Structure 1
Amino acid sequence: MDIIDTPFQPRAQTILELREFSRKLVRELGFMRHTLADSGLAPSAVHAIIEIGAKPGIQARDIASILRLDKSNASRQIARLEAAELVTRQTSSDDARSSELYLTAAGQKLRRKIDKFATDQVSDALRRLVPEDQQTLVRSLALYADALAQGHERTRTAAPPVSNARIVDGYRPGCIGDIASLHARFYAHHAGFGVFFERRVATELAAFAEGLPAPGQALWLVMEGERTLGSLAIDGDLKKRVAHLRWFIIDGSLRGSGMGRELMARAMAFVDAHYDETFLWTFKSLDAARHLYESFGFTLAEEAEGTQWGATVTEQRFTRRPTSPG
């Protein structure tokens, strides 16, 4: 089948439109007002309440980082919340020099009020969209927010990407533990997975690596010195000519480095030379990963709720066939 390229509008026009939409979102969500969500608090204080409620015990420096505030501004906001008896501070059990933040009963009540206000606001807007447009909106906003966050992180840290990271083929000592650790941390945060999931990743990956090298099988690692910071494997059946893309993960320190896309490019060249079809399993809401998969020709084939990983998630199966030339 021929591929027809859809013409894109000039990048400058896209930037102008996104800026206009961003300004409109800021206005419509109420960020230009003196208070937010009928709370009597400034927008930054409202967001501090939300973050402390979501992560009881969070430290002040983390609030500053999440809200993109300088430390002095964050300290003033937290001090005001303490004075209003919405937040309480406790000495950290791990480090006496640090303190943990918690919402008081009044703070919890205010957070519930803020949550209801925001839920009603979003629900009212969604009623004006058909379900298909709702899902498109969620995916697009997730990609946009993630791209903005990546740019902010590069500006904030002023640190160059890892320059000596390299991609290598095949097993390296220690890679199984590193890959299992990367998966465990990422999916604990994004899907609530625990030891059951980490054990499965480690044992299944170890069994796969033990059989390498093998026809139709491949493992690529992103290495920095002796550490593994990323991975991708192709576990295929040459007789059926179907490949399974597995254990694709990249450490956060490599975000924006292009290593994830390079891993995918190598894997796609490999499967196109050996297989008629490639599939992968992922979880709903991982929109940045989905965008990458789709850019390499994967399409959503099925999705269903499952519990096999130790928590209830919506699993998604994506498939890809080599692009026919001409």
Structure 2
Amino acid sequence: MDLIDIPATPRETTILELREFSRRLVRELGFMRTTLAGSDLAPSAVHAVIEIGMAPGISAKDLGNILRLDKSNTSRQVARLEAGGLVKRTVSTDDARSSELYLTPAGQKLRKKIDQFATDQVSNALRRVVPEDQQALVRFLALYADALAQDNAVKTPSGGAEATRILEGYQPGCIGDVASLHARFYSERWGFGAFFEKKVATELAEFAGALPAEGKALWLYSENGRALASLAIDGNNETGIAHLRWFIVDDSLRGSGVGRQLMSHAMRFVDERFSETYLWTFKGLDAARHLYESFDFRLTSESEGTQWGTKVVEQRFSRRSA
């Protein structure tokens, strides 16, 4: 069979086509309207409700980073949602100077309505796409969205760019960085040794080497090419159950909201694919437990064990997808 070289589409043509498709997506998804998703809210408010629902306890600063809103616009948005009885604030348990945002019962009800609207919208569209093209569509949209996010990360001023430094997938050097984060933290506080560091490095290397893979994902918070926080989802498509693994945040980022952002990415990922998510930890990690429980994880079992190389009270937490 002869191989025929198909002339590449000029870059200028590709740019124009992507711009046109982007405008069409904005119009068809309803972002040009004054309200969105069958609600009485503006598009930015709808997205705020979704993000707060995905990350209960999120700070206004982190919400603004995710939505690409400045401080004043974020404050006005949150104030309007509060006035509408959809959002409530509570004083942060980690920092009394900041507050945490939660949906009220009315806000949760609205979020479910928005989710159903969006699910129906996507489902109806997919009926017009043949099955073999659906996964390609998801992959290429993800590539496009990631490319836009990375470009925005470069343009975002320092001091308010925590969300834009979160990268998905394997990054060179991340296996050593993440293993080192685990080793230092658990050695200093719990006396874990070489067995634990080797276990993390070996299992993470095997996991990362298989990426990209269906139902599996790795998120990293990176500064200057070094991973300072991580979280992975190791999902089983046959059972519909996902395993949350390698969640660690460097001490320098404590209280920055990076851990909550990583959890938000992960919960959005699992809610679209799996019915249940579980994680293993051990008794005494109170700050981590508080974060897990804010995302609806619940303790399901605990017993003494040595899977980390040291005897601890191992705990299993589980969460049903929304």
* Closer/same/farther in 2, CA of residues 310 and 36 from structure 1, 3 Å limit: closer
Indicate conservation of the 8 Å contact 1:87/1:104, yes or no: yes
Which residue in 2 is equivalent to 1:283?
Answer: 213
Using the size of structure 1 for normalisation, the TM-score is 0.55
Pick from 191, 198, 206 the counterpart of residue 203 of structure 1.
Answer: 198
Question: Which runs of structure 2 are paired with 1:224-235 in the superposition (5 Å)?
Answer: none
Structure-2 residue corresponding to 1:102: 102
Q: 1:151 to 1:67 in 2, by over 3 A?
A: same
Within 5 Å, which residues of 2 pair with 1:17-166?
Answer: 17-157=17-157
Gaps of 5+ in 1: 169-174, 185-198, 209-231, 234-245, 249-278, 290-302, 315-326
Write the deviation string for residues 20-51 of structure 1: whole angstroms up to 9, x where unpaired: 00000000000000000121101000000000
Task: Specify every segment of 5 or more residues in structure 2 that has no aligned partner in the other structure, as ranges.
Answer: 160-164, 166-171, 184-193, 220-235, 245-269, 275-322
- What is the count of residue pairs matched by the alignment? 210
The percent of aligned pairs where both chains have the same amino acid is 62
Give a deviation string over 1:44-68, Cα, whole Å, max 9, x none.
0000000000100000001100001
AA partner of residue 111 (structure 1): R
Provide the alpha-carbon RMSD of the alignment: 4.0
Change (3 A) 1:62 1:308: closer
Distance 1:207 1:94 in 2: 33
1:292-313 residue CA offsets vs partner (Å, 9 max, x unmatched): xxxxxxxxxxx96479984699
User: What do the CA deviations read for 1:71-101 (whole angstroms, capped 9, x no partner)?
Assistant: 1001101000000010000000100001000
Residues 177 and 202, structure 1, Cα contact 8 Å, conserved in 2: no
CA distance in 2, matches of 1:36, 1:309: 31
Q: Secondary structure at the match of 1:57?
A: coil
C-alpha distance in 2 between matches for 1:97 and 1:281: 40
Separation in 2, partners of 1:157, 1:115: 32
> What secondary structure is seen at the aligned counterpart in 2 of 1:90?
strand
2:37 aligns to what SS in structure 1?
A: coil
Query: If you compute each CA radius of gyration, which structure gives the higher value, 1 or 2?
Result: 1
Q: Equivalent residue of 2:31, what SS?
A: coil
Shift of 1:202: 3.7
SS in 1 for 2:94: coil
Relative to structure 1, the CA distance from residue 33 to residue 109 in structure 2 (aligned partners, 3 Å threshold; closer, same or farther) is same
Distance 1:84 1:132, change over 3 A: same
Conserved in 2, the CA contact under 8 Å of 1:88 and 1:102?
A: yes
